[in-house]
Amino acid sequence: MSINRKIAPEFHLIESLHFPDYEILQTKNGFKLYSLRAGSQPVIRLDFIFDAGLIRQLKIAESAFAASMLSEGTKNRSALNLAESLDYYGSYFQTRSNPDDAVATLYCLEKHLENCLPLFLEAITESVFPERELDIQKKNSIQKLLVNEKKNSYLCRKHYYKNLFGDKHPYASFSGKEDLEKTNRDSLVSFHQNHYKNGLKYLMLSGNYSEEALRQIDILVSNIDFIGPSGKKNHAEIVSQTGKFFIEKNDSVQSAIRIGKLSIGRTHEDFRRLQFLNLIFGGYFGSRLMKNIREDKGLTYGIYSVLEPYKEAATWYIDSDINTKNRESGLAEIYKEMAVIRDQEIPKTELETARNYYLGSFLRSLDGPFSLADRLKIMIDYQLPNSYYPDFVSVLYNTSASDLQELANKYLGEENIVELVVGKK
Amino acid sequence: MIQYQKFKLDNGLTVIHHFDDATQLCALNILYKVGSRNEDPHKTGFAHLFEHLMFGGSENVKEFDTELQAAGGESNAFTSNDITNYYVTLPANNIETGFWLDSDRMLSLDFNQKSLDVQKNVVIEEFKERYLNQPYGDIWLKILPLAYKIHPYNWSTIGKEISHIENADLDQVKAFFNNYYSPDNAILVVAGNISFEETMRLCKKWFEPIPNRNAIINVYKQEPVQKEARKEHVYNDVPLDLIVMAYHMGGRQDSDYYNCDLLSDILGAGKSARFFNKLVKEKRLFSELDTYITGDADPGLFLIEGKLMKGVSFETAEAAILEELEFIKNNPVNLNEFTKVQNKTETNVLFGDMSVLNRAMKLAFAEFLGDITLVDNEIDHYLSVTPESLMKVAKSMFQEQNCSTLYYHAKI
């Protein structure tokens, strides 16, 4: 059988996306427990979402230390005892502080849940922030900071956010050595009281589990007197300093580059279509930035653009590391691509390829329990309807080249740009 | 249990089918049995550079990624010391696009100078971004030549030096392709929501017509047993002193492998690990101290890597590590600690099996190692480890003359 390899096999368009059913249960003490069952391995992920993000901190480094210190000991258990006990059941305990919230996560096999859950809950509610453990974490963080400050990409990121949101804005909170040194136990204890014990937003369980798992969670969580968030906000004003900034690092063989501006948030009516435009511009391997600056000119190993929404603000930016010798031509190409996407309609095949790829990527991200849980969290946090992801299909099919050009002129203009370059003069 | 069926096409291509109807996706994973260990010592970094060229168009397809993206698919690849692995995922009903694209680039690449020139630049930027423009980025470039004197694990997959990448030419590209990318040197895994019959039909249609080019695998020498402690001092513009200790261990199929993996967990994985509690927290000698194993097919390395606290000397830091190693050599691991690492392994295996693409890669790699049953019975190998076997392996591995140590000094 001889085949004509010049002709591509026929393919089908993605016509629908499905977000699986999930349950919204209520614990006896009044907190929402989202339950999303998917997958076939007997694994569990349990997330506790707290109103304890950067946006809530009064001092730099507070939110991050409060999160990382949760596992460092309670009244009855030392850090080592907690770690040994949780590790004994093969589980993983993770905490992270985000710009808008903080999340404590337990990963384990269902058969170990009854042993792990009490330990996990003890860690996150009865943490005593031992002075000695804090001192260790502070010193280790300072060592890490010293290494980060040698990285162009870190300096570039830090100064980009500081210029974009303003030095005082919580989204631009990068701890310096003094901030780390100044952190003290009392402020963490009070942060924990105000934003963890009195700041539980909701719980989310995902994976493949039985009713018994939900029952156990309800019983144990209901025994704890959590209180929901107060809703009180810190006043955080955005003070942008736009323009072009250069930080000299004379030993570098490459320059870190970030160019961007303030943008629109997730609930804005243009948001999904702007995500699509961003994809075409710099959001995937087939994007214009990648095709031109990497695949045609070989100036970089990677270049991409990102639309990054937070609760109180959003940014759109381009990020890359470019060969020092070709830096100026690389920058010129970036601005040229921005101008082209504003000035000319995107050709039909380019738009269709990107659309099909984007829908395929949703299919991939709606596959598997943990990735679904990440999407569900976005839906909860931004109060989006269950149809939010399935509706991408109609949103994308109904976005024309002229719509995209209009968006490019609205959101990808050169006005109010923050450009950061870190590298050799 | 990961269910699979295996067959071979007339041209020597091995095919493995794994069915999963819980997903709407299908994955194609092709493993070519060539990595940096097959390179000429004067032309290193080539297997990895070649991986980039595989996306530069083939005989009948101008742009691999564009065609794939148009059908809703995504692709990527990686190169290791032993293999080069390519994968695509697509909506299951569009999987034929993947067969078309991957078979065409196995049939013949579009060998063109422009693609080679551009990808040489891209890889050189990758070299700079990951190995030169990062504090401590060149550790790997230093420790491998210290530990391996004969075996091609002597160099890293990115290559020994940038000039090797600069010097690559089209003749080298063609010869490499014709030999190592022959169907009989590859393993294709088709995994996801696709039947066995459909897999067989598409394999016969797209892959079987590709002629077998009869790959010849070069022979290289195995590393002789190290007989003397090796030490090297490096001075660089970094903020902290760093130590790396590399001990030779067994290959991926050596029974010691599982012992080494668990030893590495006991010493260095997570907050209950010995190094973290004794040397980071109690003695305050390091701010970070990790252990890992390379997992290569041929005998690999057990590595210990730590950043020293400011003011701590290399002598003190190294002595403390050695004291812990002496302890594990002479005292059996207690039952709690032992059960812990066994339980962790079970969790890791189950979490690792969640995605269909991971399962596809695991099948391909096990087949490459020559024992596909590993996908299911690997856990038994871990369970057959005992506190006594751990002690025995630790005793024979953690010997001064088996160690290469890199002292990475912060320039003052």
- Tokens, residue B397: 């591995």
- Which ranges in B209-308 belong to alpha helices (H)? 256-268, 274
CA distance A67 to chain B (A): 15
The nearest alpha carbon in chain B to A249 belongs to B133
- Which ranges in B56-207 belong to alpha helices (H)? 64-70, 95-107, 113-127, 139-147, 162-166, 170-180, 196-202
Check: CB of residue B287 under 8 Å from CB of residue B281. no
Question: CA–CA separation, A233 vs A253, rounded Å?
Answer: 44
Q: Which of B70, B343, B353 sits opposite A90 (nearest CB)?
A: B343
Neighbours of A210 (CB within 10 A): 12
| Residue pairs spanning A and B at CB distance below 8 A | 206
What confidence score (pLDDT) does residue A195 get?
96
- HSE of B25, CA atoms in CB hemisphere, 13 A: 25
Residue B313, CA distances (Å) to B82, B229, B317, B380, B409 in order: 37, 20, 6, 42, 10
Q: Does B21 touch chain A (CB under 8 A)?
A: no
Q: Which of B22, B66, B100 sits opposite A353 (nearest CB)?
A: B66
> Are B183 and B271 in the same domain?
no
Render B331-388 in DSSP notation, one character per residue. Answer: SPPPHHHHHHHHHHHHHHHHHHTSSHHHHHHHHHHHHHHT-TTHHHHHHHHHHT--HH
Crossing angle, helix B374-383 and helix B335-352, to 10 degrees? 170
Question: CA–CA separation, A122 vs A93, rounded Å?
Answer: 12
Question: Residue for token digits 């952190």?
Answer: A183
- Supply the DSSP symbol for A127: B
Neighbours of A339 (CB within 10 A): 14
Q: Per-residue pLDDT tens for A352-402?
A: 999 999 999 999 998 899 999 999 999 999 999 999 999 999 999 999 999
Give 3-state DSSP helix, strand, coil % of chain A, rounded to 5. 45, 20, 35
Mutate to test the interface with B, among A288, A352, A362, A363 (most CBs of B within 10 A): A363
Neighbours of B5 (CB within 10 A): 12
Q: Which residues contact A69 (CB under 8 A, 6 or more apart)?
A: A127, A129, A133, A134, A137, A188
* Interchain contact, A9 vs B97, CB within 8 Å: yes
Beta strands in A272-313 (DSSP E): 300-309
CATH superfamily placement of domain A23-222: Metalloenzyme, LuxS/M16 peptidase-like (3.30.830.10)
Check: CB of residue B31 under 8 Å from CB of residue B83. yes
Question: CA–CA separation, B58 vs B181, rounded Å?
Answer: 13
Question: CA–CA separation, A65 vs A195, rounded Å?
Answer: 13
What residue type is A360 in one-letter code?
Answer: G
- Tokens, residue B365: 């790699």
Instruction: Judge residue A109's burial from the number of C-beta atoms within 10 Å of its C-beta, 0-12 exposed, 13-18 middle, 19 or more buried.
Output: buried
Q: Which of B90, B309, B345 sits opposite A360 (nearest CB)?
A: B90
CATH classification number, A243-423, choose in 3.30.830.10, 3.40.50.2300, 3.40.50.10480, 3.40.1390.10 = 3.30.830.10
> Are B249 and B168 in the same domain?
no
Residues of A in contact with B355 (CB under 8 A): 367-368
Interface of B with A in 234-263 (CB under 8 A): 237-240
What confidence score (pLDDT) does residue B255 get?
86
* Interchain contact, B345 vs A90, CB within 8 Å: yes
> Are B130 and B51 in the same domain?
yes
Check: CB of residue B188 under 8 Å from CB of residue B207. yes
Nearest to B75 by CA among B114, B113, B26, B116: B26
Nearest to A292 by CA among A355, A356, A336, A342: A336
Question: CA–CA separation, B369 vs A390, rounded Å?
Answer: 42
Instruction: Judge residue B324's burial from the number of C-beta atoms within 10 Å of its C-beta, 0-12 exposed, 13-18 middle, 19 or more buried.
Output: middle
Check: CB of residue A96 under 8 Å from CB of residue A67. yes
Nearest to B305 by CA among B343, B272, B264, B346: B264
Check: CB of residue A102 under 8 Å from CB of residue A66. yes
- Tokens, residue A342: 């504003």
pLDDT of residue A109 exceeding 80, the answer is: yes
pLDDT of residue A1 exceeding 60, the answer is: no
How many domains does chain B contain in total?
A: 2
Mean pLDDT calculated for residue range A267-291: 97
Check: CB of residue B148 under 8 Å from CB of residue B71. no
Instruction: Judge residue B341's burial from the number of C-beta atoms within 10 Å of its C-beta, 0-12 exposed, 13-18 middle, 19 or more buried.
Output: buried
The SS3 assignment for A167 reads coil
Residues of B in contact with A151 (CB under 8 A): 134-135
Q: Does B64 touch chain A (CB under 8 A)?
A: no
Question: CA–CA separation, A279 vs A272, rounded Å?
Answer: 11
Q: Which of B120, B340, B350 sits opposite A88 (nearest CB)?
A: B340
* Interchain contact, A143 vs B287, CB within 8 Å: yes
Domain, as residue range, for B364: 230-410
* Interchain contact, B74 vs A11, CB within 8 Å: no
Question: Residue for token digits 């710009």?
Answer: A99
Beta strands in A124-253 (DSSP E): 200-207, 243-248
Q: Is A127 left (phi over 0), alpha (psi -120 to 50) or beta?
A: beta
| Domain assignment of residue B215, yes or no | no
> Are B290 and B349 in the same domain?
yes
Where is average pLDDT lowest: A121-130, A231-240, A257-266, B385-394? A231-240
For CA atoms B325, B329, B331, B334, the dihedral sign is positive
Residue B180, CA distances (Å) to B33, B52, B53, B174, B307 in order: 7, 15, 14, 10, 40
> Are B121 and B73 in the same domain?
yes
Residues of A in contact with B90 (CB under 8 A): 360
Residues in chain A: 425
> Are B190 and B58 in the same domain?
yes
What confidence score (pLDDT) does residue A230 get?
84
* Interchain contact, A149 vs B343, CB within 8 Å: no
Residues in chain B: 412
* Interchain contact, A41 vs B107, CB within 8 Å: no
What confidence score (pLDDT) does residue B385 get?
96
pLDDT of residue A80 exceeding 90, the answer is: yes
pLDDT mean across residues, chain A: 95
Domain boundaries, chain A: 23-222, 243-423
| Domain assignment of residue B220, yes or no | no
What confidence score (pLDDT) does residue A367 get?
87
> Are B260 and B362 in the same domain?
yes
Q: Which of B22, B272, B347 sits opposite A109 (nearest CB)?
A: B347
Question: Residue for token digits 């856990």?
Answer: B379
> Are B299 and B186 in the same domain?
no
> Is-same-fold flag (A23-222; A243-423)?
yes
* Interchain contact, A301 vs B117, CB within 8 Å: no
Strand partners, B30: B86, B188
Residue B383, CA distances (Å) to A92, B95, B340, B345 in order: 20, 38, 12, 9
Give φ, ψ of B138 to 5 degrees: -95, 10
Q: Which residues contact B376 (CB under 8 A, 6 or more apart)?
A: B1, B2
User: Looking at residue B397, which CATH number applies to its domain?
Assistant: 3.30.830.10
Residues of A in contact with B309 (CB under 8 A): 139, 143
Question: CA–CA separation, B175 vs B397, rounded Å?
Answer: 40
Question: CA–CA separation, A109 vs A112, rounded Å?
Answer: 6
Mutate to test the interface with A, among B278, B287, B334 (most CBs of A within 10 A): B287
- Tokens, residue B109: 């690449």
Residues of B in contact with A152 (CB under 8 A): 133
* Interchain contact, A84 vs B340, CB within 8 Å: yes
Give φ, ψ of A60 to 5 degrees: -60, 140
Residues of A in contact with B65 (CB under 8 A): 285-286
* Interchain contact, A360 vs B93, CB within 8 Å: no
Mean pLDDT calculated for residue range A195-216: 97
The nearest alpha carbon in chain A to B104 belongs to A5
Q: Does B352 touch chain A (CB under 8 A)?
A: no
Render A261-274 in DSSP notation, one character per residue. Answer: EE---TTSTTHHHH
Model-wide pTM > 0.90: yes
The SS3 assignment for A129 reads coil
| Domain assignment of residue B66, yes or no | yes
Question: CA–CA separation, A37 vs A16, rounded Å?
Answer: 21
Per-residue pLDDT of chain B (412 residues; tens, 9 = 90+): 899 999 999 999 999 999 999 999 999 999 999 999 999 999 999 999 999 999 999 999 999 999 999 999 999 999 999 999 999 999 999 999 999 999 999 999 999 999 999 999 999 999 999 999 999 999 999 999 999 999 999 999 999 999 999 999 999 999 999 999 999 999 999 999 999 999 999 999 999 999 999 999 989 999 999 999 999 999 999 999 999 999 999 999 998 999 999 999 999 999 999 999 999 999 999 999 999 999 999 999 999 999 999 999 999 999 999 999 999 999 999 999 999 999 999 999 999 999 999 999 999 999 999 999 999 999 999 999 999 999 999 999 999 999 999 999 998 6
The nearest alpha carbon in chain B to A297 belongs to B118
What confidence score (pLDDT) does residue B273 get?
97
* A250: confidence class by pLDDT, cuts 50, 70, 90: confident
Question: CA–CA separation, B279 vs A151, rounded Å?
Answer: 27
> Are B47 and B159 in the same domain?
yes
- HSE of B261, CA atoms in CB hemisphere, 13 A: 23
- Supply the DSSP symbol for A54: G
- Supply the DSSP symbol for B252: T
Question: CA–CA separation, B210 vs B213, rounded Å?
Answer: 9
| Domain assignment of residue B223, yes or no | no
> Are B145 and B255 in the same domain?
no
* Radius of gyration, alpha carbons of chain B: 23
Question: CA–CA separation, B281 vs A10, rounded Å?
Answer: 60
Interface of B with A in 369-398 (CB under 8 A): none
Query: Does the ipTM surpass 0.90?
Result: yes
CA distance B91 to chain A (A): 7
Residues of A in contact with B207 (CB under 8 A): none
Q: Does B92 touch chain A (CB under 8 A)?
A: no
Question: Any idea of the CA torsion for B367, B372, B376, B378, to the nearest 10 degrees?
Answer: -70
Q: Which of B172, B207, B242 is the last residue of a domain?
A: B207
> Are B60 and B167 in the same domain?
yes
Mean pLDDT calculated for residue range A298-316: 96
